[in-house]
Chains A and B, each alone.
Chain A
Amino acid sequence: MSSQDAQSLSPAAVPIRLTINGTERRLQVEPWTTLLDLLREQEGLTGSKKGCDHGQCGACTVLIDGKRANSCLVLAVVKDGAEITTIEGLGQPGNLHPMQEAFIEHDAFQCGYCTPGQICSAVALVQEGRAHTREEIREYMSGNICRCGAYTNIVDAIEDVLGQSSTLREAAE
């Protein structure tokens, strides 16, 4: 945050501490600032997208303390102390997360606007361990809308990563 931005905050701003993509950040936030706006506007992490801004599309999905959540419906101030992971924290060019690799491999997007939310959600879906079939992947991804309709390839990508992780689990047993 630049000093100019800090000065433009209202006196109602309160100090909070967030761990964002592994880095501890001490921040001043106005209570009406959503986590999504904080990430995008104050922290410059524009990977998380503002689609509907009303919890209906999932483009803003991030991981809060490891769980997927719509960051547009979360006031940042209530998450004081939380660990936030955004798409930027999952992987970077040259060092992609397996889910990012799978989305590329399966061409699981067209315009790409919903993709960061889809990938954060899909990473959580794998960690939750409740989806085992294509039907279940679709159900547990229903909170992420893709207006281009890349759903078939999104399910392919997730199925691929699920297969890899179950293979890994079997190998470890």
Chain B
Amino acid sequence: MKRFDYVRANDVGEAVAALAASPAARIIAGGTNLVDLMKYDVETPERVIDINRLPLNTIEATESGGLKIGALVSNADLAYDSRIAERYPLLSSALLAGASPQLRNLATTGGNLLQRTRCYYFYDTGTPCNKREPGSGCPAIEGVNRIHAILGTSDQCIATHPSDMCVAMAALDAKVHVIGPGGERTIAFEDFHRLPGDMPEKDTNLQPGDLITAVELPAEDFTAHHSYLKLRDRQSYAFALVSVAAALKIEDGRITQARLALGGVAHKPWRDTEAEAMLKNSTPGVASFSAAAAKVLETARGYGENSFKIDLARRAIVRTLKQAADGTPQSQTDKRIR
């Protein structure tokens, strides 16, 4: 690991000032991804700002009836919070599908949003990577790409965003609270992460000096009809090849509200509002679910080793929507897929 200056911020103001003074600094919270990347020299910050002392570790009710999750709330504390588990079980489920108990104790909400891709080439400083070294090339496109993206790719990058938590937050229409040099603002979840385009080095639309303070969940919850299905090479402690978050409202045998987002398939959590619109007012069943899946994957493109993901995603979407509609969400301990 390269040496760095260590700065400990004691409140939000100090953290923002420290970031403004050195915009290239890295924030450390749980550190589970940053420290890993620093050991590989993928991240080589000259300064690391420790925000663990900041009072951002609570979950509070909002005036509009939702919940505001502090950026430092750990993935474990979030998953097991009774309000989250009862009102937003989709989010609990997605969190518990990710990582391991040890990592969930360390990893934070803000850090999960900012975790980097697990693309092999991004991690391997002996190879080119446009995300790590802009302009150097993308060996994944014609290389080892079993885990890579099938949607929203560019000719510069086919990396995926690795988070489970974020897929559920996308489906739940969360908002990200940020404070930066210009003050506080909120970013719609859809606009938080970005597609690679010709700037794959940028994972998000955060501006230099921005600090994530919270994620807000709207009042609208989906407690009766939801499921998070994660498909991977081993049944626990592995990143998704494909994951699907589905949430529905069903009244009198018709879908009145639908949410659908995928993980493991794109540079960002992949929510498809057009597919959601198709599901709305339809009768829950294989016909409408298959049509929605076809819509999501209309523009999907395989790159060889990952081409299997297109059909896998199609079937995963149908199955997850069925689990949601039936009120039988995927268990994250009993791994059998029903």
Q: How far is the CA of A53 from the CA of B38 in the complex (A)?
A: 12
The answer to whether B1 touches A73, judged by C-beta atoms less than 8 angstroms apart, is: no
Is the CB–CB distance between A12 and B3 below 8 Å? yes
Per the CB 8 Å criterion, the residue count for chain A at the interface is 35
**By the criterion CB–CB under 8 Å, are B332 and A139 in contact?**
yes
A74 to B1 Cα, complex, angstroms = 13
> For chain B residues 1-17, which have a beta carbon within 8 Å of chain A?
1-6, 8
A121 touches B102 (CB 8 A): yes
Known: A12-B6, A14-B6, A68-B101. A53 touches B333 (CB 8 A): no
- Which of B39, B50, B236, B237 meets A78, CB within 8 Å? B50
Which residues of chain B (243-279) have a CB below 8 Å from chain A?
Answer: none
The reply to whether A139 and B333 contact each other, CB–CB distance below 8 Å, is yes
| Given known contacts A58-B100, A67-B105, A73-B32, A139 and B52 CB-to-CB distance under 8 angstroms | no
Beta-carbon contact of A135 and B102 below 8 Å: no
Do A12 and B5 form a contact, CB below 8 Å, given A75-B28, A75-B31, A143-B100?
A: yes
Question: Number of B interface residues, CB 8 Å?
Answer: 31
Residue of B nearest to A29 (CB): B6
Residue of A12, A32, A73 most packed against chain B (CB within 10 A)? A73
1/0 per residue, CB under 8 A from A, across B21-58: the answer is 00000001001100110110000000010101000000
Q: A55-B32, A140-B101 are in contact. Are A70 and B106 (CB under 8 A)?
A: yes
Which of A67, A74, A78, A125 is the most central at the interface, judged by chain B CB atoms within 10 Å of its CB? A78
Cβ-neighbour of B236 out of A14, A61, A64, A142 (below 8 A):
A142
Q: Which of B156-191 contact A (CB under 8 A)?
A: none
Query: B233 on the interface (CB 8 Å rule)?
Result: no
A128–B28 contact, CB under 8 A?
A: no
Query: With contacts A31-B4, A32-B4 known, is A68 near B39, CB below 8 A?
Result: no
- In Å, the complex CA distance between A30 and B31 comes to 16
Which A residues lie within 8 Å of B103 (CB)?
Answer: 55, 70, 73, 143
CA distance A173 to B3 in the complex (A): 54
Minimal Cβ-Cβ distance residue in B for A66: B105
The contact of A74 among B4, B8, B106, B335, by CB within 8 Å, is: B106
Q: In whole angstroms, what is the CA distance A102 to B126 when docked?
A: 45
